[in-house]
Amino acid sequence: MSKPWRYEFQAVKTARGLKFTSRKFFDRAISTLGDGEEVRVIIERPQDTRSSQQNKGLWGPIYDQLLAGVAEEIGYDAHDKAGKELMHEGLLQLFSGTTVDPVTKREVAKERSSTMTAARFREFTEWIARWAAEQHGVVITLPGEL
């Protein structure tokens, strides 16, 4: 059995059917299939992914408040970008669980914040605020709560 693969393409419904926004890439993917090869076709409405404003809120005020509250306790430098990135990866793992990366054979977060829907990203930031309060006694004011 061959390795699983997946292609995603965006399309718009017209009176004549689906119009693909990147037809040449769609055609290229189809050309890799053998005659009689089965595939699964899924039609779904797109969901809004997290916004750049949400992302700025996470990497700015949310993480800044968390680091300010725990830096001394855990030995993080509140201004160290690498420390912030390690914390981000750890929080993603706690929030969504882990999986083993097939290349590095290391545990990584099952979910990336960059691919979350806006609603899921909001759940993530709200979870961070609860986790910070419960685990470290740090109160985080989420963007929009000021």
Q: Is residue 83 part of a domain?
A: yes
Lowest mean pLDDT among 11-15, 42-46, 74-78, 117-121: 74-78
pLDDT tens track for 76-107? 777 778 888 999 999 999 999 999 999 999 99
Residue 4 has pLDDT above 90, yes or no: no
pLDDT-derived band of residue 145, with 50, 70 and 90 as boundaries? Answer: low
Q: Is residue 26 part of a domain?
A: no
Cα separations in angstroms, 102 against 1, 77, 107, 108, 111: 18, 32, 10, 10, 15
Q: Is residue 123 part of a domain?
A: yes
CA distance 72 to 83: 13
What pLDDT shows up at residue 146? 47
Q: Is residue 59 part of a domain?
A: yes
Residue 2 has pLDDT above 70, yes or no: no
Q: Is residue 57 part of a domain?
A: yes
Q: Is residue 40 part of a domain?
A: no
Amino acid at 75: G
R_g of the chain computed on alpha carbons: 21
Q: Is residue 43 part of a domain?
A: no
Q: Provide mean pLDDT across the span 64-84.
A: 83
Q: Is residue 6 part of a domain?
A: no
What pLDDT shows up at residue 15? 95
Domain extent at residue 85 = 52-136
Q: How many domains does the chain have?
A: 1
